[in-house]
Structure 1
Amino acid sequence: MADTHPIKLPTIPDLSIPGDYGHACLHLAWYREDQERYLLFAMVELLPTEFPPPDSTEEQCLQTRSLGRRTAVYVRRDVLPATEALTWYEHCRDGHVRLPGSDVVLATATLAQEPCWPFLTSTNNLPFHSWGTVRSHHLLQARTLDAARRPLVDRKALAWLQDRLYFSLLQYGEWLGSINLVAPNPVLRAIHHTLSVGDQGEGSDFHAIVRQGHNISGLVLYVAEHRHQGVANLQSIPLLKAYQRIAHVGRTERVSLAVVCPQRGILEWMEPLPFLRTISISGSILGTEKEVHVPDTPRRKGETYRATVRSSEQTSVMGEDGASTHISRFLYSQEAKRRQNAEAERSGQKLFNGSPDEARDFVRQLIGRARRRVIIVDPYFATTELFAFALAVTGHAIGVTILTSSGCMRSKDQTTPDSESGEVLLHQIEHLGKQGEQLKVMVMGGDTGPIHDRFLVIDDTVWLSGNSLNAIGERAGLMMKVPAPGQVTDLIEIILADTATKPLKLWVEERLAARKASERP
C-alpha cells in the first residue's frame, strides 16, 4: 500500500516579521547607449530596524567615449521603506525592471531565480556584501545582453564601477546583470565562537550578541564536529541564553554551526573551520635605504625608486609547537600532498628548451584533439602560423578563430616579403575557405592589441604559452593549462565582440583605403 502521508515542505523564510527591517538600500548600476539602458547590477539590501536609515546617494555618471559618443555608466543608491523595496523586487521577479519612481526600463535578458521564490539561501560568500551570514535571493542572467557586456571592455569604466560596487563585474561574471535581495540577520549582530580548553577536555564557547528590540527565544543552535574522515558529533541546542558551552569529542579539529529560527529560516551559517592553535611571527629590522635608477629607453622614460634594506628575519612561535606530532597533523599533511600532486597533473605543465620541433608537434596534437572549437590568441600570428598550426584540426566541422594584432598585419609577410601580412593572410584564408576549412581571423585594435599573453583555446580548455607560436620552443618557454579557463575565455569573448576588433577582410579593406587616401596629392 502506498504511503499517503503528505511530504513536509521546507520552512518558507518570512521577511515581513514586524520589527525585523525598517528600511532598505537599493543599489543600482546600469549602462546607457543612446536611449537604451541596460542593467549591470542591482541589490536590495534590507536594513535591520536598529539601524537608522542612511542618506540616499545621488546618481553618478561616467562617460564612456571609447564605446560611443552617447554612452555612459551610472550608479545610484536609493533608501526606501523595506516594504517598498520588496515590492520593487517583486516586480523584477515578474520581469519588470525599472528605475525606482520612474517608467525608465532597464533592459535584461531572461531572469532565472536562485533559489526558487519564496525560499532563500543563507550565505556568507557574496562578493558584493560583507555583513557575514545573510539570507539572499537572486535573479540571474545566464546569458546577458551583448550591450550589457560592452562596459567590461573599457578599463576605466570597469575600475569606476568596481570602486562604487566594491567588487569586479569582470572577475565575478555571474553577477553581471543580476538583481539580488540581501537580508542580514535581523535578530543577532553576531555569534562569537571560541575554543574552550579545560580539565574536562575541549569544547566550544558561543556568545550570541542580540540586536536591540529582539531576543533569542525560539532560536536553535546546530553544531557539528568534523574530523579527517567525517563527522564525529552533531548536536542541536535551544539558545536559551546568550552564552553556551558545548563539549567536544577529544581534540577539536573542525566545527560547523548554524542558527535556525522556525519563522525566519537559517540566520547564521559557518562552514567547517579549524581553530587557530599556533601563531608564528617573523620580524626584521629596517635599515638603510637604497636608491635605484632605471635608465630611459626609446619606449619608456626612466624612473627612480627606493628600497629599504632589512636585517635577517627572526621568528617567534606562540601556542602549539609547529612541529607537533599529533595524528591529525599527519593526516591533513598527507591529504594536502595528494591535492598538490593532483593539481600539478591537471595543470599540464610543459617546458620547452631549444626544442622547436617538439613544441610545434605538441601544439598540433592539442589542436588535433579539438572536438568543438579552436581559438588562437597571438599578437604575432600571420601566414606561416596559419599553415603550421591552424590547419592541424582533424574534425571536419571544427571552426578555428584566430585573434591577432594590427601591428602584425601591417608588417611584411615572411612568405611574401613584398606584401603586408594582412593581405597575404586574407588571400590564404579565402583560398582555404573554398576547400572547406572553417577559418576566421579577427584583428585587435592598436599595434599589439589589449592582450599580451598567448592563449590556445581547445574546446573548454585554455593553454597559456610564454612564447609566440612563430618562435615556440626556440628558447626556454613554458606552456601550461590554465586552472580557471573561464576567466580567459570570458575576456577573449569580450575582445572579439569589441567594435575595435575587426574581421580581417574589413581590416584589409580599411587599410587599403587609408593607404590610397594618403597617396593622393
Structure 2
Amino acid sequence: MSGFIRPLQGVDSFDLKASGERLFFRRTLLSKEDATSWYRSLNEGERCTPVPTRKVDREDLDGLAFRVPRLEDVQPWPELGLPISEELFSRARTTTINPAPFIGSVPGRLHRRFGDRAGLEVFLRDRGAQAFAARRMHVDLFEYQEYLGSLVYIAPDPVIRQIDHFMVPAKDGKGERIIYRIVPHPGQSLEQVHVTAFDKEARLLTSFRTHQIPMDGILEVDKGTCIGEYGYVVTHEQHGVLAYQPSSSFLRQMNLNLRVASGKRLKVNAPSGDSTSSPRMEYEGTTGSELASNSIFGEVKNPGAGARVAIEARKRERLAEAKQAGQRWFAEDSRVEAAHLIRELLRAARKRVIIADPYLGALQLGQFLYAVHGSEVSVTLLTTKLAFNPRPKSVDTKSGLLQSFAQSLDDLNKHQQLVPDVRIISSSSLHDRFLVVDDDVWFVGNSLNNLGVKASMIVKLPDPNEVIERLHALAVAAPKLDAYVDKASKASTRGKENE
C-alpha cells in the first residue's frame, strides 16, 4: 500500500423504489491483516462497517453500525476453495455457470460465510438497484441470491501468474507430447507446486498422475498420441488448489466455410398477424449466396476407435437427458398411453397442480383430476371461453357446457375433496398448454382433450420458475368461474331482451 498515494474516497447510493430506503456502496482499502480480522469478526448481531487502514481514506460513513445475520462457514477457516464451473470428470458443457463471477478473469480462491436475505426483498423487486450493485460488484445479485446477506473472502493466486497447456506434434521419431508451462509471480518459487494430470480415452479414465513442476516451470509428458481428453489440477503444498482445467481434447482440425451474398438485397414487408389491422414488420433477405472459400486447417490421419465410442456415448447421453427432461413423443392414436402418463404425473402431486389449457372442459376433469390425491394439494385450472363454445352440429349450448363444468367440480369436491380454483383467462393471452406438478412444469404440445389423438409431445422444462410466475400472474388477472358464469348469464339475458 505504500505506493498508493491518492485517497480512496466516496460513497455511492441508490434510492430503492416504493420503500423510502437507500442502498449504499463503499469501496474501502484495508491491509490484509485488517481485512481478515474484520471478515472473521462478523457474527450475528450489531457490528460496524469496516474502517480503512489509512486515515486519509476514512469518512463519516465508516465504522457505522449495521445488522449482521447468522453466518455459516461452509468450509473451515482458513481453508480456501477454487471456483469451478464443471465437475472434475464431467463432459464439457456448452454453457457454464460461474459460481463466483465477481472475481473476474484473475484466478482467485474463496472462503464464504453465508447468511440470509431477510429484509432484502425490496432489493429483489428493484431491477435498478440490482443494476446499481452489479456495476460495482460485478455480480447480478438477483441471479446469485445466495450472496445476499453473505460475505466472501477472495485471495488472488499468490504463486502462479500464467499457465500454458498445449500439445507438441510428433516429430523426429518422438511421439506427441503434452507441455505444461507454469510462470510464477516475481519472487515466487515453484518448489512446492505440483500438477495432477488426468487422461480420458474412449470414455475411460486411463491416467491420474501427480508431477513435481521443475524449477524452470516446464513439464513435458510423453504420450505417443493425444487422441483422448486431458485435464489437470495445480496444487501447492501450503496454499492448496491453485488452478483447474477440465478434461478436453486438443484441437487438431478446423474447417472454415465462408459464404457471400451474391444476389440482390430484398426488403420483405409482411403483416405481423392474420388480422387486417395487424401492424406490418420488415426484414432483409437476399436472392442467393455463393461459396467464397472452404478451408481446412490441420489434419486428422486416424481418429481411432475413440471417435466412434464418443459418438455412440453422446447418443446415449442425449437419450438420458431426454428421459430426465420428461421428453415423450405420442404417436397418432395413442390416447390411452398419453392419458395414463398425465394421470401418473398428477398422482405424484404433493402440494400444487396447475393446468393451463385453453380448451380445458368438464370431460377433462373426469379424465384426469381424480388422480390427484389429498385435499392439501392446491389445484388451479386456467381455461378460456373456447372450452365452452359448442362444437358445430352439437346440441350443447354454452350455458349447458358451463353447467356441466360446474357439476364436475361439485363431484370432485364430493368424492375427492378437491376444490380447484378455476380462472377464465382471455383466449388471446395463452396458446400453449402447461402442466405444473409441485415445482416441475411440463410443456404439453396439444390440449388435454386431444393429447395422443394426433401426434404430439410433452417435455419437462429446465427452468420452471418463470412459467409458474407467469401462470400465477394470468390467474390473478382473470375472473373466477362464478364471476364469468354470472357475466355470461347477464349477457345472455340482455341478448334475449333485445330480440
- Structure 1 gap ranges (5+): 1-21, 24-48, 64-68, 517-521
Partners of 2:397 and 2:77 in 1: how far apart? 64
| Contact residue 162 and residue 168 of structure 1 kept, 8 A | yes
Aligned to 1:463: 442
CA apart distance, 1:111: 5.0
> Which one of the candidate residues 157, 160, 168 is aligned to 1:188?
160
Aligned to 1:114: 74
Partners of 1:230 and 1:90 in 2: how far apart? 41
Could you report, residue by residue, the CA deviation over 1:66-101 in whole angstroms, capped at 9, with x for unpaired residues?
xxx337895846243255544454355657688764
Partners of 1:351 and 1:72 in 2: how far apart? 52
Partners of 1:425 and 1:73 in 2: how far apart? 51
Aligned to 2:205: 230
CA apart distance, 1:168: 5.6
| Contact residue 413 and residue 424 of structure 1 kept, 8 A | no
Aligned to 2:59: none
Aligned to 1:285: 260
Aligned to 1:248: 222
Partners of 1:57 and 1:366 in 2: how far apart? 57
| Contact residue 390 and residue 400 of structure 1 kept, 8 A | no
Aligned to 1:15: none
| 1:437 and 2:417 correspond | yes
> Which one of the candidate residues 232, 240, 251 is aligned to 1:257?
232
Partners of 2:367 and 2:135 in 1: how far apart? 42
Q: 1:448 to 1:388 in 2, by over 3 A?
A: farther
Q: How many residues align?
A: 447
Q: Name the amino acid aligned to 1:307.
A: G
Partners of 2:126 and 2:485 in 1: how far apart? 25
Partners of 1:144 and 1:424 in 2: how far apart? 48
Q: Name the amino acid aligned to 1:207.
A: R
| 1:417 and 2:398 correspond | yes
Could you report, residue by residue, the CA deviation over 1:399-436 in whole angstroms, capped at 9, with x for unpaired residues?
1432637xx48997879835997x99789757744555
Within-5 A mapping of 1:31-50: none
Q: Name the amino acid aligned to 2:234.
A: V
Aligned to 1:350: 328
Partners of 1:453 and 1:476 in 2: how far apart? 16
> Which one of the candidate residues 402, 421, 434 is aligned to 2:380?
402
| Contact residue 223 and residue 255 of structure 1 kept, 8 A | no
Partners of 1:506 and 1:384 in 2: how far apart? 16
- Structure 2 gap ranges (5+): 51-61, 86-97, 391-395, 491-499
Moved more, 154-163 or 363-372: 154-163
Partners of 1:400 and 1:307 in 2: how far apart? 50
| 1:392 and 2:381 correspond | no
Q: TM-score, normalised by structure 1?
A: 0.67
Moved more, 232-241 or 165-174: 165-174
Q: 1:195 to 1:345 in 2, by over 3 A?
A: same
| Contact residue 444 and residue 502 of structure 1 kept, 8 A | no
Partners of 1:444 and 1:169 in 2: how far apart? 36
Cα RMSD after superposing both structures: 4.9
Q: 1:218 to 1:344 in 2, by over 3 A?
A: same
Within-5 A mapping of 1:264-303: 264-287=239-262, 288-295=264-271, 297=273, 300-303=278-281
Partners of 2:7 and 2:484 in 1: how far apart? 57
| 1:216 and 2:189 correspond | yes
Q: Name the amino acid aligned to 2:444.
A: S
| Contact residue 290 and residue 306 of structure 1 kept, 8 A | yes
Aligned to 2:290: 311
| Contact residue 373 and residue 399 of structure 1 kept, 8 A | yes
| Contact residue 339 and residue 368 of structure 2 kept, 8 A | no
| Contact residue 216 and residue 239 of structure 1 kept, 8 A | no
Q: 1:162 to 1:466 in 2, by over 3 A?
A: farther
Q: 1:254 to 1:344 in 2, by over 3 A?
A: same
Partners of 1:71 and 1:403 in 2: how far apart? 38
Q: TM-score, normalised by structure 2?
A: 0.69
| Contact residue 46 and residue 66 of structure 2 kept, 8 A | no
CA apart distance, 1:501: 5.7
Q: 1:254 to 1:363 in 2, by over 3 A?
A: closer
> Which one of the candidate residues 6, 9, 12 is aligned to 1:58?
12
Q: Which protein is richer in strand relative to its size? A: 1
> Which one of the candidate residues 299, 322, 326 is aligned to 1:320?
299
CA apart distance, 1:249: 3.1
Q: 1:112 to 1:476 in 2, by over 3 A?
A: farther
CA apart distance, 1:182: 3.0
| Contact residue 195 and residue 210 of structure 2 kept, 8 A | yes
Could you report, residue by residue, the CA deviation over 1:157-192 in whole angstroms, capped at 9, with x for unpaired residues?
778877776666666665566543333313323211
Q: Name the amino acid aligned to 2:12.
A: E
Within-5 A mapping of 1:336-347: 336-347=314-325
Q: 1:478 to 1:371 in 2, by over 3 A?
A: closer
CA apart distance, 1:62: 6.1
Q: Secondary structure at the residue paired with 1:336?
A: helix
CA apart distance, 1:506: 8.2
Aligned to 2:27: 78
**The structure with more radius of gyration:** 2
> Which one of the candidate residues 103, 109, 117 is aligned to 2:65?
103
| Contact residue 219 and residue 239 of structure 1 kept, 8 A | no
Could you report, residue by residue, the CA deviation over 1:37-71 in whole angstroms, capped at 9, with x for unpaired residues?
xxxxxxxxxxxx99x998877234563xxxxx337
Q: 1:314 to 1:302 in 2, by over 3 A?
A: same
Partners of 1:409 and 1:154 in 2: how far apart? 36
Q: Secondary structure at the residue paired with 1:80?
A: coil
CA apart distance, 1:256: 2.3
CA apart distance, 1:455: 2.7
Moved more, 287-296 or 355-364: 355-364
| Contact residue 225 and residue 256 of structure 1 kept, 8 A | yes
| Contact residue 62 and residue 157 of structure 1 kept, 8 A | yes
Q: 1:172 to 1:428 in 2, by over 3 A?
A: farther
Partners of 1:134 and 1:430 in 2: how far apart? 62
Aligned to 2:112: 138
Q: 1:98 to 1:276 in 2, by over 3 A?
A: farther
CA apart distance, 1:234: 0.8
| Contact residue 360 and residue 387 of structure 2 kept, 8 A | no
Could you report, residue by residue, the CA deviation over 1:200-238 in whole angstroms, capped at 9, with x for unpaired residues?
3222223333335x4134331213241322132513214
Partners of 2:485 and 2:46 in 1: how far apart? 46
Partners of 2:344 and 2:125 in 1: how far apart? 29
